[in-house]
Structure 1
Amino acid sequence: MDNENQSEVVPKKRESSTGLDPKVAALLCYVLGWVTGLIFLLMEKENRFVKFHAWQSIITFGGLTVLSLVANFIPILGQIISFLLFPISLVLWIVLMVKAYQEEWYKLPVAGDIAENQLK
C-alpha cells in the first residue's frame, strides 16, 4: 500500500501557553488549592480548558479557605464545621484533579458556573 495516500486525521491538541500538556496544567491548577489556581490563571494566556480549571480552583478552594477561617472564630460549632470541611475538601481536591487530568470540563454546581462566566 502507498503510505503517501493514507492520511491520518489526528486532531491537533491545543497547547497551553505554559508549555505543559493542557491536562497536566489543568491538574496542577488544583495541587495547592487556590494558590496554584491563581498562578496558572496568571500564566495561561490562551487555553480555555486550563483557565477554566484555574478559575474553578480559585473559587472553590478560596471559598473553602475563607469558610474555614471564619468557622475558626465560632466557639464550638466552628470546630465541628472545620472538622467536616477537611474530608469534604480532600475528596473535592482528588476528584477535581482526576477529572482535569481526564480532560473533562467537570463543573461544580456554583463554582463551575462562576468559572465558566469568567471565560466569557
Structure 2
Amino acid sequence: MDFAPYQSEEPAAARPGAAGGGGGSGSGSGSGGARGYTPPPVHTSNSTASPPPPMYSPSPDAYAGGSSSGYGPPVEDQQNVQVNQYETSIPIRLEYESVIAYAALPPVGSVALLIFETKNDYIRFHSWQASLLFTPLFILFIILSFSTVLSYLVLAVYIVFALYMAYRAYRDSASLDRLELPVIGRLASDWVDSE
C-alpha cells in the first residue's frame, strides 16, 4: 500500500482486486489475480512536492556546545567564544565569594573555595593568596599560644589582614583588579595562570 501524502489516486484504486466490485472476493478465485497490480504513477523532478525538512538545524548557533560532531559550532569557531569572567561555579555572587576567601575562617574558607570553585580565576587567585597568607599565621598562632600577649598580637594581625584583604577583594571585584601581596601574591598569580 502506498500511504504517501502526495499520492495522485485513492489508496483503494491501487489495491489489487479492489476495483472488481466483489467486496473482497477478488483474491480467492482467478478473476482478481488476472487483472494484476498497477503501481501508482511516479512523479518526475518537475513536480511541486518539496523534500522533507531536515531532522536538525544545520546552523552553527542552533546548539550550545563546542565540537565538530554537528552538535555545536565547528572547531575553528571555538576560538571566538566569549568567556564570562564574572561567572562562578558556586551559585554565589563574585563579590561575596571573594570575601569568603578571606573572611570565612581563614584558611578553611579559602581551601574550600579552591576545591569547589573551578571556573573563576579571580576567586581562585584570592583563595590561593588567602591560603598562603593565613596558613603560616594560623600555625604561628598555635605555636605562640603559650604566651597570651604574643598569641593576641598574632590574632590581631590575622584579623586586620583578613578584614583589609576581604574589603579590597570586594571592592576590586567590579574591575577584577588583583591586590597582590609581595611574595605570596606573585606565587598565587603564577599558580592560577598555570592552571
**TM-score scaled by structure 1?**
0.77
Q: Does 1:56 align with 2:125?
A: no
Over 3 Å counting, the alpha-carbon distance change for 1:52 and 1:13 in structure 2 is closer
Residue in structure 1 matching 2:95, options 23, 34, 49: 23
Structure 2 match to 1:4: none
Flag the 1:84–1:24 CA change in 2: closer, same or farther, 3 A: same
CA RMSD of aligned residues (A): 1.7
Q: Distance in 2 between matches of 1:107 and 1:14?
A: 19
Mapped pair 1:81 → 2:154: no
Pick aligned residue for 1:46 from 88, 101, 119? 119
Shift of 1:15: 0.6
**Aligned position for 1:92:** 161
Give the whole-Å Cα distance in 2 for the aligned partners of 1:44 and 1:36: 11
Per the TM alignment, residue 40 of structure 1 is displaced from its structure 2 partner at its CA by 0.6
Q: Helix, strand or coil for the counterpart of 1:112?
A: helix
The amino acid across from 2:133 in the alignment is: T
Higher-helix-fraction structure: 1
What amino acid is the match of 2:158? S
Structure 1 residue runs of 4+, over 6 Å off? none
Identity %: 25
Q: Is the 8 A contact 1:23 1:50 kept in 2?
A: no
- Counterpart CA distance in 2 for 1:43 and 1:99 is 22
Does structure 2 conserve the Cα–Cα contact (< 8 Å) formed by 1:37 and 1:54?
Answer: yes
**TM value normalised by structure 2:** 0.50
- The alpha-carbon deviation at position 80 of structure 1 amounts to 4.0
The alpha carbon displacement at 1:13 in A equals: 5.3
In the alignment, structure 2 segments of 5+ residues that lack a partner are 1-83
Cα distance, 1:71 vs. partner? 2.4
Residue 70 in 1 paired to residue 139 in 2?
A: no
